[in-house]
Structure 1
Amino acid sequence: MKDQVEKEKISHVFEEVVYIPTTYDLKDQELSSDKKNKSDTAFLYFSALTALLLNFSLGCNFVWTSPVLPKLKDSDPNVNPLGEPIKTSQISLMVGLPSVLSLFSSFFLAKLPDVLGRRGTMKYMSIGMIISNIAVAFGTHIYIYYVAQTVFYIFAGTASIAVQVYMSEIVEDHNRGKFGCLMGVALPLGCLYSFVVGPVTTVRDFTLLCTVPSVISLIFFYTSVPESPVYLAMKGRKEETIRALRKLRNNKSSKEIEQDYSKIEDLSKTRTKSEKHGFVNLFNRPVLRKAMMVALIANMTQHLSGVAVIMPFLGPIFTEAGTQLSGNTVAIIVGIVKVSVFYSTSHIVERIGRRPLLLFSSCSTGIPLFLLGLYFFWKNNNSDFIENIRLLPIVSILTYVVVYSLGLGPIPMAMIGELFPSDIKSVATTFIMTIVSILITIMTTVYPIAAEYFGIQWCIWTFSFCCFLGSIFIYFSLPETKGKSFREIEEILSR
């Protein structure tokens, strides 16, 4: 009896080891291998970087005022193309007017990527960006600056929308995060380019150099970069879609390309249905209203931290601070630090989480801003010990850039994609960016006048206060979205 039991145990073990399911065959093995993610192709990187050159160009122009304003304030006509020093009211209009008019234009041009295509929109917008910069480069009157800068931001803003859509449509699920990080780095890289090139060139040469990325992008869009496969599928152009996929994913077999096309075709049908959703859908459920409040305040905190003012006016701010380093030198250092930390954040956000990084960043950003404001307060009151703390502004702004780039910089926009369902995600993004654009317009327009009449310290202290206020809101309202599905996030928001 004992021997029989032992044999049965052995028999059961043997059967478990050698058992082969009846459904197992070579076809299953082939499908399993198809699920493996293929490496990203060189042509995919080439297409993505071509599109990101437009964001790079936008970054160049975003901080164009930093190296240019000291020259426009100069009375030497060989340095100042305007022939006379620029006035504070003119600075305010030059910075604020483009934001106002480009905001209104976004309502009329936001649909262009669906009409002209993603690549078509980027091509035509890049032409407008190039012409606008050329007008600024050879302009000798402030009104030319007003008009040309406004036209540039109209075209650049529309191009930026097309770039975001194009980038999300040429990648796959497994590499979307990586290419999203590339998109986040393009703008600060453009800022760094301006900080380096602007101080050592004339206004004309510098502006023309800011045009070069757009020219390169335009050439490649006309010669080699394909249209978005998703856009082509939405238009029912199957053969062109497959040709674009073969270019972008040239390491895949014909069968894999067909499978990718099927997925894209399903996605395009979903996109078509989602276009029927309007702004009213953002507020018809309590959970969506809370998601909107969380996403909106997180994005407002990002800009109320002063980044929309400090970066464009970085050179003039540090020139006035009278530190041991020139404003342009500090701007270059800040640009390098910002690009480095932005890139590093993309590698740690999935490990640490969104909420802890955003909470730490928003709270910590307020501290160096408070110290920077304190420095200007002491300086404007001619305090005797100011000579002993000349490094305080440099340390403060570098600390500000580091902690900002760890959370407030890259995370708020990413939160929109995680807090809203896919069918109204684009509507939510448009609504939030419209509100944020209005906020940026007010800040950049009011800052030069407020700094002159009330002092830089009060402007900077206001930014500091907003950081602390935003951190309180984030602590009590922002959920952690790392590793959670939309249903799980929705449940948290509904509590």
Structure 2
Amino acid sequence: HSAVSWVSAVPPLGAFCGSLMTGPFLQRFGRKKTLMLAAPIFSVAWIIIGTAVNTPMLIIGRLVTGVCAGIVTPSAQVYVSECAHPEIRGVLGSLPALFMAMGVLISYVIGTWLPWDYLALVSALFPASMLVFLFPLPESPSWLKSVGRKDEAAKSSQWLHHDDKVVAVELATIPVSNGDVETPTSIAEVEKKPETTMNSKKDVVKGAYSADALLRRPVVIPFYLVVCILIFQQVSGIDTILFYTVSIFQASGSPVNDYLATILVGLVQVIATFMSLFVIDRYGRKPLLVFSGVFMAISMAALGYYFYAHDRDLPIVKSLGLLPVISLMVFIAAFALGYCNVPFLLMGELLPVAQRSILSSIASAFNLGAMFVVIKSYHDIKDWIGSEGVFWGYAVLCVTSCVFVITLLPETKGKSLEDIERYFERKAEKILEKKRMNMGMP
């Protein structure tokens, strides 16, 4: 158990470290260059895994892939969210989750026929292809303007939207790092404005990352919401399911072939994630999260009941042979429709642009830290309270997440990033006003 759990848990541990590096990288190098820096290292790490001759070499390779994943995941989400138009931001913001689901399915399918070391070498091709596809793309207009490169921001926005009016509106609603909003009336006007000097750029960035700026209520409130949603994503049990799918099926004693069932689970994840592209901007973020949480809770409760009956040799278990497969397929489908992509989309939407680089890095660290704890502790908790206790615990946490979303999370569908920032500014003002009234202050 110890060796298996460490090999499984090392990637999220590395991802935790990588996510802490992401904020400085995003701010210093930009969104695109950060992704391009991580891609070749990602490929090399997979080659190390594929050519590993001992356990330490394998663990090092897994650790480095984790570090790269910790950098790439938030960077890609922030990049997409900042480049996309509000009307299609939900769809484009869900694409990283779709491609991750496709990657999981491909690894399941190839892993059925190829040894793990050959699978690792095949995996090295994907980060390399990412590097190639990134070359012709522009940098994020939000980041370019935040560091004072306004003419480049205008050109980037023009490349993305091909519409002067859209470009002017977008640049008018992108705050610079000190929180001010400039209001150009056309792309030509933007290009005429002089560049910010290097010293003022540094001052602006320092101001945005000062303790006073980071601890303001309009910054703390969305950060708190994002961190909670990202933690709920992990404690739903998703990575326990994805990392231990085959062993869960083997332990269940289900008559369905273990590897076939695993491929079916991966296929369902891809289909459901693809379907989410068509509903996320139609129904909004909150309904999808609640729907996702409810059905994940039901499926985990059902899987827990199966293991309860199986471990006690109850007669009913003979008629429940398909329940593990059905439960996991429902769980994966429900996760893919909501908690797979919405939390990362919210990270790109809720966090204020001036502090987005550093806060997305810290939020991802919380997410990956939770992933490490969940994966590393799975076997120990299972030995302590049984498989049914583990899955019932996940069910309770999924229900808790639904309550959190319904009561605290604002809807962001169709809103510009500036509108979202203004919402939290108003919310912070209301909290302060209520606090003053309670204290009897004018």
Task: Pick the aligned partner of 2:120 from 194, 207, 213.
Answer: 207
Distance 1:459 1:438 in 2: 19
CA distance in 1, matches of 2:44, 2:317: 46
Distance change in 2, residues 1:171/1:412 (3 Å)? closer
Correspondence for 2:139: 228
CA contact (8 A) 1:110 1:161 kept: no
**Superposition deviation, residue 483 in structure 1:** 5.0
Give 1:362 deviation, angstroms: 1.5
State the alpha-carbon separation in 1 of the partners of residues 174 and 289 from structure 2: 32
Rounded to whole Å, the distance in 1 between the matches of 2:224 and 2:81 is 25
Query: What's the counterpart of residue 134 of structure 1?
Result: 47
CA gap 1:183/1:276 in 2 versus in 1, 3 angstroms: farther
- 1:223-372 matches, within 5 Å, as 224-228=135-139, 230=141, 248=159, 252=162, 256=164, 260=167, 267=174, 269-270=176-177, 273=204, 276-278=207-209, 281-285=213-217, 288-372=219-303
Residue aligning to 2:34 = 121
Tell me the SS of whatever aligns to 1:139: coil
Per-residue CA distance 1:119-168 (angstroms, 9 max, x = gap): 44333322211121111112132211111110121123223344334434
- Read off the aligned partner of 1:137 and give its amino acid letter: G
**Change in 2 beyond 3 A, CA 1:171/1:355:** closer
Distance 2:222 2:144 in 1: 32
1:312 Cα deviation after fit: 1.4
Residue segments in structure 2 that go unaligned for 5+ positions in a row: 179-200, 432-442
Alpha-carbon shift at residue 323 of structure 1 (Å): 1.7
Say yes or no: does 1:96 pair with 2:9: yes
Change in Cα spacing, 1:349 to 1:274, as seen in structure 2 (3 Å) is farther
Cα 1:478–1:455 change in 2 (3 A) is same
Secondary structure, counterpart of 1:424 in structure 2: helix
Whole-angstrom distance in 2 between the partners of 1:472 and 1:175: 28
In structure 1, the partner of 2:105 is: 192
Deviates more, 1:341-350 or 1:369-378: 341-350
Whether 1:402 and 2:333 are equivalent positions in the alignment is yes
Aligned residue in 1 for 2:64: 151
Q: Given the superposition, is the C-alpha separation of residues 389 and 270 from structure 1 closer, same or farther in structure 2, using an over 3 Å criterion?
A: same
Mapped contact 2:45–2:61 kept (Cα < 8 A): yes
* 2:17 counterpart letter in structure 1: F
Assess, with a 3 A threshold, how the Cα gap between structure 1 residues 384 and 140 changes in structure 2: closer, same or farther. Answer: farther
Q: Does 1:377 align with 2:322?
A: no
Contact persistence 1:91–1:448 (CA under 8 A): no
- The structural deviation recorded for 1:374 is 1.2
2:207 counterpart SS class: coil
Q: CA deviation at 1:318?
A: 1.0
State the distance in 2 between where 1:342 and 1:167 align: 17
Name the structure 2 match of 1:386: 317
1:470-485 mapped onto 2 (5 Å cutoff): 470-483=401-414, 485=419
Query: Structure 1 residues 276 and 327 mapped into 2: Cα distance closer, same or farther (>3 Å)?
Result: farther
| Corresponding residue number in structure 1 for 2:380 | 449
Number of aligned residue pairs: 400
Specify whether residues 465 and 267 from structure 1 end up closer, same or farther in structure 2 by C-alpha distance, changes over 3 A only: closer
- Aligned equivalent of 2:440: none
Q: Assess if the C-alpha contact under 8 Å between 1:296 and 1:432 holds in 2.
A: yes
Distance 1:481 1:293 in 2: 16
Return the alpha-carbon distance in structure 2 between the equivalents of residues 239 and 295 of structure 1.
32
- Is the Cα contact below 8 Å between 2:86 and 2:414 reproduced in 1? no
User: How far did residue 452 of structure 1 move?
Assistant: 4.1
Asked whether the equivalents of residues 13 and 66 of structure 2 are also in contact (C-alpha less than 8 Å), the reply is no
CA displacement at 1:460 relative to structure 2: 1.3
Equivalent pair of 2:23/2:360 in contact (CA under 8 Å): no
Q: Could you say what secondary structure the match of 1:423 adopts?
A: helix
Cα offset for 1:463? 0.8
* Contact 2:15–2:71 (CA under 8 A) maintained in structure 1: no
Distance 1:389 1:335 in 2: 22
233-242 or 344-353, which moves further after superposition? 233-242
Larger Rg: 1
User: Separation in 2 of the partners of 1:181 and 1:429?
Assistant: 17
Alignment partner, residue 184 of structure 2:
none
- Deviation per residue, 1:279-310 (Å, 9 max, x gap): 6545433x654444433322222211101211
The 2-side partners of 1:163 and 1:284 are apart by 26
Q: CA distance change for structure 1 residues 395 and 124 in 2, over 3 Å: closer, same or farther?
A: same
CA distance in 1, matches of 2:132, 2:280: 36
RMSD of the alignment, in Å? 3.4
Residue 369 (structure 1) shift: 0.2
CA contact (8 A) 1:365 1:400 kept: yes
Match of 2:47, as an amino acid? I
Q: Residue 470 and residue 119 in structure 1: after superposition, are their counterparts in 2 closer, same or farther (change >3 A)?
A: closer
1:217 matched to which residue of 2?
130
Task: Tell me the SS of whatever aligns to 1:449.
Answer: helix
| Compared CA separation, residues 276 and 336, structure 1 to 2 (3 A) | farther
TM-score by length of 1: 0.70
- Taking a change above 3 Å as real, the CA distance of residues 156 and 260 of structure 1, as seen in their structure-2 partners, is same
Alignment CA distance shift 1:235-1:212 (3 Å): same
Structure 1 window deviating more from structure 2 (399-408 vs 480-489): it is: 480-489
State, as a whole percentage, how many aligned pairs show the same letter.
22
What 5-or-longer segments of structure 1 have no aligned partner?
A: 1-87
